[in-house]
Every structure is written in C-alpha cells, then in structure tokens.
Structure 1
Amino acid sequence: MSTTGTRSVGTKSTARTTSGWGRFLGQKAVEVGVALAALILLTFVLVLLVPGDPARIAAGLDASVEQVEAARTALGLDQPIPVQFLHYVTGIFTGDLGQSFRTGQDVTTIIGVRLPYTLTIALVAIAITLVISVAIGIGVAGLTRGNRNRWLDVGFSWVTATLQTLPVYVFGAILVIVFAVSLGVLPAAGATSPASYVLPAVALTLAPTCSISRIVRREAAAVLEQDYMRTARGWRIDRIKQHMKYALPNLLASTLTLSGLILGNMLGGAVIVERVFAWPGLGNGVVEAILERDYPLIRGIILTIGVIAIIINVTIDIILAVVDPRVLRSGKAFA
C-alpha cells in the first residue's frame, strides 16, 4: 500500500511538471509571437518615417524623373501601404528581404555574411561576462561576509559603479590606444585573425560584467547567511565546494532573471563596438546602411538584431525554468 501511494505521488508530480512545462512553453510562444509582430511592425514603420524618397535614393541622385518612377514601381512603393506591409511580411517568412540600394545584393545575402561576426563576438562576450561576473560576485561576497574586509566591499562597489557608466566607445578607444597603438600586441580594427576578437569582446563585456557582478555579490551575500550555508561551514566543507555546490545554484535564479535584460542590451553595445573596431558585423552594417539611407538593408539588419535579442531572452527564461521549478508552478518568470 505504501508503494502504491508512493507511485501515485510520483505520477502526480510528473504530471504537474509536464503540465507546468506545457503552460510555460505555451506562454513563451505567445510572448515571442507578440514580440516578433511588434518588431516587424516597428521595422516597417520606422523606414517610412525616415526623411527622403527611397525611390530617388535607389535610382540615384542624378536620375531622371522617369527613372525614379521606374524605381518606385520596381520597389513596390507605388502601392498602398497595407499592400507594401503584406509584401514585407511575406518576404520575411520566405527569406526575401529585398535588395540593397547601395550594392544591389540581396539583403539576406549581406546579413548572412555579416551575421557570423556579430554572433561570434556576442557569444564570446556573453560567456566572458557570465563567468567573470559570477566568480567576482561570489568571491567578494565570501571575502566580505560578516562585515569583514570593509575596504574591499567599498572599493568593489565604487569601482564597479564607476566602470559600468563608462561609455563603451570610450573604453574601446582606451583599449586601442593601450594595446594596439602603445604596446602593439593586438590589432586595432578588422577581423583578420583570432587576435582581432580580443579587444571588441573585452570592450563589450566591461559594463555588463560590472552590473551582473554587483547583482551576484548582493544575492550571494544573502545566500551565504542562510542556515544551510552556516551548516556547511560548521562541517568545515571546503570553501570552493561550499560556493559552487551550495551557494551558486541558489543564487542563479534571481541572477539570471536580471542578467537576461542586461545581456539582451549587449546587442545595442555591439553596434557601437563594431563601429569603433571596424568590425564587419551587423552593427557596423546598420550604421553604414543608415548613412547611405539603404532602407531594405536597415530593415533587414534591425529585424535580425531584434530576433537575436528575443532568442537570448527566451533562452534565459528557459534556463531559469530549469534552474528554479517555481517558474513552472507560477507559469511565468520573475522578470
């Protein structure tokens, strides 16, 4: 009878977990759909609000009136806005984002060439940010527990608060001056070798690392004062094992909730970083497209960057649900 009861409880628990995942994934699908719809509408309307005549730009500034009108017809700009929007949406889901005004290439081809550079630097920066910020945050929390090493606590707060406000283009310029110009150990621009990834990735990680390490330090300080952590210290368990096995899993939930927003915002910083280091990614591409008023390319790149941001946030939410089952019970993330 006891065995039957145990099986019944286990079955109910599994069913609740499955149901929780179903509700959670269903909600995430709805949120992604709404965010994607808003992004598509925003990118379509944004270009309409930009001053200038796209047909004139596509045909060339020296083009005749007839050539401009021919370009307008070829681009579908002579059609009503709802029809243009329908063609835009259809093109998105068929992989046809139009052609660049400047080069005549397919926008999808240009994005396909630039996307790997942006993804690589973004993923490297995110990995560096998470590893370093978690290590620093837990380390400082452990060293300052119980009001010890007050100087370290104050210094950490002051330094991180100062550095996280430093504009990414300023920090990038400093890195170029020190490591590329003065020391000559790293390339200043371009993506010609693996060493070229170092300075852009470091420039992109500074502010997020400071912000997330402050979050981790605060959450870790609270976790380290819990009864189970006092018990672990009483048993004289190795300090590294205390932090990695007992403290880290219990502070990941709240840390990931807040970090997801910060990591998503890193894409905005990537635009500036790519411009500073002449990085051939989407960020530098969208700046060039804006300067050239290359509307199809502007739309395509902004849409792609927005989709990447959505994917990052959804991934963080799913990881959070795996780490903290309360997310499944509530049906939503804490953010």
Structure 2
Amino acid sequence: MSTVSRRLAAMRRRHPWPVFCCRRAARLAVSLFLVVTGSFVMIRMVPGDPVRAALGVDAAADLVAARRHELGLDQDLTNQYVRYLSDLAQGRLGVSLVTGEPVAELVRSRLPATLEIAFLAFGCALAVALPLGLAAAVLTRDGRRPRAETGFTAATGLVAALPDFVLAAGLTAAFAVGLRLFPVAGDATAASYVLPVLALALAPAAALTRLVRAETLKVLGEEYVRTARAKRLPAAYVHVRHVAPNMLTATLTVAGSLLPAMIAGTVLVEKVFAWPGIGSAVAQSIVAQDYAVVQAAVLILGSSVLVAGFAVDVLLALLDPRSAIRET
C-alpha cells in the first residue's frame, strides 16, 4: 500500500463522519450535474420547433427567426449549453416561451404545492405502515391466523403494485365523482388534499407495511425478546420498548428511498387532480416544448429528489453510526 493510500485509510478511521459527509456531498454534486445536463438534452430531443409552437403556425418567418435569435436557439447545442450553465450560475432560470412569465416566479408559486402533498403523503405512509405492520406481525407470528396473513399479503401486494396514476384515477371515480365526498380537482379547501395525498401514499404505505411486518417477525424471534416475555413483562411494553426500535433501521432505510420517488411521482398525480404544483407545469410544458419551464422544473424536482436522498442518508447514519464507519 502506498503512503497516500495509508494516509487516506488512517484519515477515514480517525474522522469517519467528515469523510462520509464529503463522499455523500460529492455524489450529490455529480448527480446534480447529470440532472442539469439531462434536462437540457432531453427536452431538445423532442421533435418540433418550440418558438413556432409558442408564436403559432401563422407567425411570420422573420418574427420566428428574431425570437429564436433572442433566446439563443439559433446557436449550436454546445453554445446553448454553455449559456444555460452560465444563466444557472447567476440564478437565472429564463422566461416561459408560452406565457412570457419568469420561470423563477413560476417555480416559487408552484413548488410549495408539490412539496406539500409529497411530504404529507410520506408522513401518512409512515403513520399507517408502522403500527399496521407491527400489529400484523404480532397477530400472525408463529403461524397464527393463517387466513388473516393470506388476506394481509394479498391486499398489501395488490395496492403496492398499483401505479400512482391508476390509484389517482380510481380514487377520483370512487370518492369524487361517485360518492362526491371530495373535490375533483384544485386546492381550494383542506378536503382537496385528501385524494392527491392518498394517491401518492397508498402504494408506498402498502409496501412499507409488508416490510415492517417482515422486520418485526424477525425481531420477535430474537433471544432478548423471548427473555423479555419470559420475565412476564406487559406485551405492549415489549413491543414498544424492544421490538419497535430494532425494526426501525431497515424500515427507515427503505422509507428514505421512497420519499424521492414520491416527490417525482407528483407529476402524474398533479395532472390527474389539476393540482397547481410544478409537476402539472412539467406536463403542460413538455407538450408546448417550453424549454425554460421544462428545464427548470426537471432541475427543481431532480434536485429535490437528490437532496431528500442525501438528507435521508445522513439521518440513517445518525441513527446507525456504524453504517457511516463501514462506508468510509
């Protein structure tokens, strides 16, 4: 081993936390760069002329050419990319081709609505999965209640497999159109949040419930749990004090990976419920080839996903410091 390698290894042993955080931050930076580049390239792969689409098919050719020159779209892709990076570095997200609205203003007005339903859905998924999975494990451990176990497995497996947009459409048909219990679209009242949040939360909640049950069954078989039972401690105390904390690490690891997916999943759910978030803006702008809006929206959503993943990694390392040491 070279001197440099030995010094790096020694530094990792002495300072595992700084090394862990630096490695995660470096991955985050690389991922953000890929998101920026990907958003630039993908929108330009969509066939058609965005300026012509924005100005209309009857717009004069010289007007279209002037607008393309103003936006720099008459330059080659390399120059457009350099200009895009330069604008990002200065905090400029551009102007919508369709509405003329500053994209930064659109993001400020729409992003909170997207994050609201994503984080509410994440909280609901955890609030349902943890107690339900724990209860299911306690009730069906050691082969007890096989019919309940079969029903639980079938129901959670079915819900977990359904895509968000299918759940959104089904919830709309059942509770908005059929029973008229909740609004079909918009965010005018507190009731408007129910269906979008459920559409985002149901599948992750079902998947997490299955995981919580599996982890709880594993913990229930451990020696220290059997010892606690042998001491005739109250069942509720055993489950809360000994079982729940030891099944949380694996559960939170998977839950942390679901949060970014739920943020990304808002795009389709917002479209179904006409939710005024950034996801619905993405869907509309892709059709209109509104470069600036799509690039900004993909960048913001991608950054939110990556930052959420980074925060979850750090949180899990705090809960289990050994993981940070192992990774360094």
Matched, 1:252 2:248: yes
> SS of the counterpart of 1:144?
helix
Q: Which residue of 1 aligns with 2:176?
A: 180
User: How does 1:191-206 map onto structure 2 within 5 Å?
Assistant: 191-206=187-202
Q: Which residue of 1 aligns with 2:145?
A: 149
Cα deviation digits, residues 129-151 of structure 1 (max 9, x gap)? 11211111111111111111122
> SS of the counterpart of 1:191?
coil
Task: Give the direction of change, closer, same or farther, for the CA distance of 1:305–1:185 in structure 2 (3 Å limit).
Answer: same
> SS of the counterpart of 1:164?
helix
Do the aligned residues in 1 keep the contact of 2:122 with 2:201 (CA within 8 Å)?
A: yes
Higher relative contact order (CA 8 A, sep 6+): 2
Unaligned runs of 5+ in 1: 1-14
How far apart, in 2, do the equivalents of 1:36 and 1:169 lie?
27
Do the aligned residues in 2 keep the contact of 1:59 with 1:71 (CA within 8 Å)?
A: no
Letter in 2 for 1:287: A
Q: Which residue of 2 aligns with 1:117?
A: 113
Cα deviation digits, residues 64-103 of structure 1 (max 9, x gap)? 2211111111101223322211221222232211111110
Letter in 2 for 1:228: Y
Aligned counterpart for 1:19 among listed residues 15, 18, 35: 15
Matched, 1:323 2:319: yes
RMSD: 1.9
Aligned counterpart for 2:299 among listed residues 296, 303, 325: 303
How far apart, in 2, do the equivalents of 1:213 and 1:25 lie?
30
- State the 1:245 CA deviation: 2.4
Do the aligned residues in 1 keep the contact of 2:12 with 2:19 (CA within 8 Å)?
A: no
Do the aligned residues in 1 keep the contact of 2:317 with 2:323 (CA within 8 Å)?
A: yes
Q: Which residue of 2 aligns with 1:230?
A: 226
Cα deviation digits, residues 160-195 of structure 1 (max 9, x gap)? 111112232332233223322333332111000111
How far apart, in 1, do the equivalents of 2:14 and 2:262 lie?
33
- Higher mean Cα deviation, 26-35 or 291-300? 291-300
- State the 1:120 CA deviation: 0.4
How far apart, in 2, do the equivalents of 1:273 and 1:315 lie?
24
How far apart, in 2, do the equivalents of 1:249 and 1:152 lie?
25
User: How does 1:61-72 map onto structure 2 within 5 Å?
Assistant: 61-72=57-68
- Higher mean Cα deviation, 15-24 or 156-165? 15-24
Matched, 1:51 2:44: no
Q: Which residue of 2 aligns with 1:106?
A: 102
**Identity over the aligned pairs, expressed in percent?**
38
Give TM-score scaled by structure 1 length.
0.89
Task: Give the direction of change, closer, same or farther, for the CA distance of 1:79–1:207 in structure 2 (3 Å limit).
Answer: same
Unaligned runs of 5+ in 2: 1-10
Aligned length: 318
Q: Which residue of 1 aligns with 2:7?
A: none
How far apart, in 1, do the equivalents of 2:89 and 2:211 lie?
39
Give TM-score scaled by structure 2 length.
0.91
Do the aligned residues in 2 keep the contact of 1:118 with 1:282 (CA within 8 Å)?
A: yes
- State the 1:58 CA deviation: 4.0
How far apart, in 2, do the equivalents of 1:284 and 1:295 lie?
15
User: How does 1:130-169 map onto structure 2 within 5 Å?
Assistant: 130-169=126-165
- State the 1:38 CA deviation: 0.7
How far apart, in 2, do the equivalents of 1:239 and 1:88 lie?
61
Q: Which residue of 2 aligns with 1:291?
A: 287
- State the 1:261 CA deviation: 2.4
> SS of the counterpart of 2:15?
helix
How far apart, in 1, do the equivalents of 2:170 and 2:188 lie?
21
- State the 1:242 CA deviation: 2.1
